[in-house]
Chain A
């Protein structure tokens, strides 16, 4: 696609439920990133993929958070047993890869846990 696409754009879920957030990167981009933007917390790095592997998952806040990437393309971020503090905008970005080039961001998924 022309840009990074994320779905859904908005998600409201009940506390304790699992959610899956999807990211479609720009075609040909081998690097993919997930960030979280919470009110007052700025943008926090969650995980980085190069191809299908995740050399850096240091930002995942707990073992309730996991992510995978298949076919070097689509990525899914899964949050299990959601808590209210998980409410945030989850942003995905992609770039051409190592040797750093600019990262292009999607419009984000706004997650609200009630």
Chain B
């Protein structure tokens, strides 16, 4: 069975602070994909990143960076110099390879960035 845990339910920071959102996953598959999605107040889920299980290189995209560590089954997301527009619910998700390609989501972390 697959499971994604986002232990942080809510985080509140002040603008320009760095913030890290934690994601821990469980799977018995050797091949899988990990994702982060952003859900702003408008409600639509916005894709941020996909990472496959064979690629442990960290990724940086502007103020966003992701740290994938198979040894600890974690795929953490860091926002540097946070902005008010980063306020949203962030979901980490896992896609098992083979069979259906459904996403297994964590329960999300609500990030509030205060001015």
Interface residues of A (CB under 8 A from B): 31, 33, 35, 41-45, 48, 55-56, 58-59, 89, 91, 93, 95, 98, 100-108
Contact A33-B107, Cβ < 8 Å, known A105-B45, A107-B42: no
A55: which of B37, B100, B107 is its contact (CB, 8 Å)?
A: B100
Most chain B CB inside 10 Å of its own CB: which residue of A48, A98, A103: A103
Identify A103's interface contact among B42, B47, B97, CB under 8 A. Answer: B47
Given contact pairs A33-B102, A58-B100, A103-B103, enumerate 12 new A-B contacts (beta carbons under 8 Å): A35-B105, A42-B107, A43-B108, A45-B103, A48-B102, A55-B100, A56-B99, A59-B102, A95-B101, A100-B101, A102-B35, A105-B45
Selected contact of B43 from candidates A33, A45, A104, A108, CB within 8 Å: A108
A-contact bits for B44-68, CB 8 A (1 contact / 0 none) = 1111001000000000000000000
The count of chain B contact residues (Cβ–Cβ below 8 Å) is: 24
Query: How distant is the Cα of A68 from the Cα of B69 in the complex, in angstroms?
Result: 39
User: Are A43 and B43 CB-contacts (below 8 A) given A56-B100, A100-B95?
Assistant: no
| Contact call A42/B33, Cβ cutoff below 8 A | no
Q: Are the C-beta atoms of B103 and A102 separated by less than 8 Å?
A: no
4 cross-chain pairs, A with B, having the tightest CB-CB distances, nearest first: A56-B100, A105-B45, A42-B107, A43-B105
When distances are taken between beta carbons in the complex, the residues of chain B under 8 Å from A102 are 35, 47, 50
Q: Residue A98 contacts which of B101, B102, B107 (CB distance < 8 angstroms)?
A: B101
